[in-house]
Amino acid sequence: MNKKVNITTDSGADASVINEALSAAVRQYRSQKKMSLDELSRLAGVSKGMLVEIEACRANPSIALLCRLAAAMGVSVADIVNVASSPCVRIITAEDIPCLWRGELGGSARLLAGTSGPDMVELWEWKMHPGETFETGSHATGTHELLHVVQGSLHLTVGEESFTIGKGAAAVARTDKPHSYTCEGDDPLIFTMTVSERAR
């Protein structure tokens, strides 16, 4: 099994667009709040060096890092990558859906859509190949994920507990603990995930 923690987006159009959007969001937030890099570093739990790289558009952020910065700035990840909804309906074309994770074997995680603001709901599509794992830390207290397996078998670990979710099955998981997703078995895995997270 290939275990990777907080794998970043790969190089390419998605990564470039995400890096530019995050850079602009961090610079704008610090300017509006008259906040130093040191202050934002402490608030978000992100090193000052990483923030310097982000503002200079040289970083390749992980999903976990995006989540920490979004929470610290009181916005959603969807706001940063520009797939947040706005009244009354916003259509996000297939070309505009960002890929925020790529696995070593070709897997991907795409943020299909999400709501604005610190209290957020996100809709994700995950594709993983046998042996791929994505591990991440805790979300804010009370965060829930709704998962539905379209193809293959998902091995979900939350804290010290592990679960297998087969094709066609669904699960509700409280993910305010470290958790991971693994493609179990010999077939590729596809699952959708809705994340409901309240502001810290």
| pLDDT score for 188 | 98
User: Which pLDDT does position 85 carry in this prediction?
Assistant: 67
3-state secondary structure of 69: helix
pLDDT single digits (tens) 117-168: 778 899 999 999 999 999 998 888 899 999 999 999 999 999 999 999 999 9
SS3 label, residue 42? helix
Give the mean model confidence (pLDDT) for residues 179-187: 95
Mean pLDDT of 86-96: 83
pTM, two decimal places: 0.73
Per-residue pLDDT at 9 exceeds 50? no
